Amino acid sequence: MDWPPIAGDPRFFRRSGPHSLATVAAVAGSTAPPGDLMLTGVAPLQTAGPDEISFLDNRKYVTALSQTSAGAVILHPELLEKVPSGTRPILASEPYVAWARVAALFHPLPPIVAGVHPSAVVAADAKIEPSAEVGPFVVIGSRAQVGPRCRIGAGAVLGESVVLGADCRIGEHVSLSHALLGDRVVVYPGARIGQDGFGFAMDRGAFLSVPQLGRVILEDDVEVGANTTIDRGSLHDTRIGAGSRLDNLVQIGHNVRLGRGCVIVALAGISGSTILEDHVMVAGQAGFAGHLRIGRRARIGAQAGVMSDVAEGADVVGSPAQPAREFFRHVAVLRRLVREATAKRSKRAAGTETDTD
């Protein structure tokens, strides 16, 4: 079956509006151009119609801008002259930020439906704010606390004494144990938070599990991606700093501490007791040994193998990880040596190699 592209398909996404051009511009932090245009939704440049708004944040798509039929477009002032005559420009120094706000205007989060679904299993001494929404087949353990305006998706499990602050969103089939969550924390479906860390001792050739006695603390505004796992601490807490974002399929070991505003991309793994200071960025599939310290605003490249501490502000890539400039210098030297060796083999094969070569 052929389904035409639709941004914000109403079967799946709640929509508000229409909104006036002036309202949309104000939400974007800009000033509206003249006109009384009403906008009904958002769409990409390639498919937007005269009553829709789009955006441009990447110069690669300037050609699409020149051909768009969008009624309005959010873009940087430097690209103003590229806007076609039938499209109203909304200027923003950070177009993607403005776009995020405008898209949220047209597609706000669904409202909370306060109450506990009849199929949910809730301990008698759990405390659930009346404004919270508890979905079907949710299990909430003894002494757990659910803050105001939280939403807990179907099949989620909150273990004993778990605490959710205000306005948290817990996705379907999430499990939370030994965990304390701040305000506005978002945990996407399938995430596992608070399970035993990977800790064991060797006893006469056999493994002896070490009790994991810490907690997981997710500070305000943290987001945890689908199927991500965060182990509780062994003695110290595992802590994810305020505003940090973890992508899908990330592994956080016991006692790990992330500072504020860290970004961890999919399939990265951080071994126990490693510390990431504020605003560290970790690209996909990077791996960290245990007991390391990664300095503030360091950037870790994709598939990097980090085996030693990283200085503040450093960019590292490769395995073992090394400073990016050094790594690419090594790559350039290696390529040059390969080219020279290939050229020598070609000369030898052709019989043109001399003694001075």
Give the pLDDT means over successive 10-residue stretches in the chain (357 positions): 86 93 96 89 95 94 94 96 94 96 96 97 98 98 98 98 98 98 98 95 94 97 98 97 98 98 98 98 98 98 97 96 89 86 83 62
CATH code of the domain covering residue 102: 3.40.1390.10
**pLDDT attached to residue 353:** 62
Asked if the peptide bond before residue 5 counts as cis, ω within 30 degrees of 0, the response is no
Nearest-angstrom CA–CA distance, 336 and 342: 10
DSSP 118: T
pTM of the model: 0.91
Residue 10 resides in a domain: no
CA distance 72 to 42: 10
Whole-number pLDDT of residue 331 = 82
d(CA 166, CA 180): 12
Tell me whether residue 143 is in a domain: no
Dihedral angle sign, alpha carbons of residues 209, 210, 213, 215:
negative
Q: Catalytic positions, please?
A: 254
Radius of gyration of the chain (CA): 26
- Candidates 53, 39, 41, 52; CA nearest to 10 is 41
The answer to the question of residue 325 being in a domain is no
The boundaries of the domain holding residue 77 are 19-106
Given this model, what pLDDT does residue 157 score? 98
Same domain, 290 and 185: yes
The tally of domains found in the chain comes to 2
Q: Is 16 exposed, middle or buried (0-12, 13-18, 19+ CB in 10 A)?
A: exposed
